[in-house]
Structure 1
């Protein structure tokens, strides 16, 4: 996902009384600006003025709609750090899992991933942001996983209850550990090894 791919619908958590609603193109520009500023300057550098400048809108436009940067960030959280994952349909469970986890890797390496990394330090001490960040990039994982494994069950590749196993968490957990902690490679070979030696065996166990 690139900055140009930021969806146009931004849902404010709270709008100041009497404040005008913006058009969708401006909403998209603001969401993209939040990603840009977070990735470049971190949460400490995420200011209302910086977002306004990056979005190409007047400061009054931002301040009329949001009273703080935390409120602004929460309002665009869904599009900034939890973009919808495309659900692949390759015709096989292995192919679908590789495609889906590859998409997660690309997300970590893109603008949203950089924004999330900048945000994580601030989240620890802010209960409001903690709640909002439960919608981090893997927030849409459960739905995509359920679709992929559900189709596999219909094809007879796995049992009917496979979607609800711990296997759902293994793939994203390993990728996130490498991304956030170890710095080990995230590439096609890692994704294939993860699917073949961890995720599929767990899904196919009796």
Structure 2
């Protein structure tokens, strides 16, 4: 689990304990899944993590900052920097990791946050910055490698490809009654094929 940027050192320059950072993010994620954003409080997070609220606020200044870190964790769980050597391989790994992440607890969290984002601009901005923008940058790197290998030509639509990759996995999560279970039934190779077909379409 990645440590948020603001959690690297204390007010007097002492290193923060990464185990505390991880415990707080894990508690935030668990409580989001159990109760949703509306019932999430920093006091409840601190209790679940077994730390003081002062310790929490030394690392994150607000509940929104904590949620941003939780979203960063969601993305970190399905973005792999590995180069498989092919466009199909890279996209399959991306989709497989995304399915693995969103078919469990993190899928419940994301579903809750998307619902909150419908009427909360701050949460909407967090989802755009921490999930959409980061995923788009990762897809751009995959497509740049594919172009260098001669698998696709220039002029591809990075944003459109990223949007499609996200939609093909999150639509079952958000619109199917069984959400994460519906995601688990997806076949990554099939989705990767759909993405490549869209990229190669004249």
| Equivalent residue, structure 2, for 1:156 | 150
TM-score normalized by the length of structure 1: 0.77
Residue segments in structure 1 that go unaligned for 5+ positions in a row:
1-5, 13-17
Distance across 1 between alignment mates of 2:58 and 2:145: 46
Q: Give the 3 Å change call, closer, same or farther, for CA 204–73 of structure 1 in structure 2.
A: closer
Distance 2:199 2:139 in 1: 12
**Aligned equivalents of 1:21, 1:73: Cα separation in 2:** 24
For these two proteins, the number of residue pairs brought into alignment is: 195
* 2:102 is the alignment partner of 1:102: no
Given candidates 183, 186, 190, the residue that maps to 2:183 is 186
Aligned to 1:9: 4
In the alignment, structure 2 segments of 5+ residues that lack a partner are none
Structure 1 residues 67 and 100, CA gap change in structure 2 (3 angstroms): closer
Q: Would you say the 8 A contact 2:161–2:199 is kept in 1?
A: yes
Tell me the SS of whatever aligns to 1:99.
Answer: helix
Moved over 4 A (4+): 18-22, 63-68
What is the distance in 1 between the residues matched to 2:190 and 2:49? 41
1:77 and 1:60 map into 2 onto residues whose CA distance is 19
Answer yes or no: is 1:57 the counterpart of 2:16: no
The CA deviation at 1:177 is 0.6
DSSP-derived class of the 1:125 partner: coil
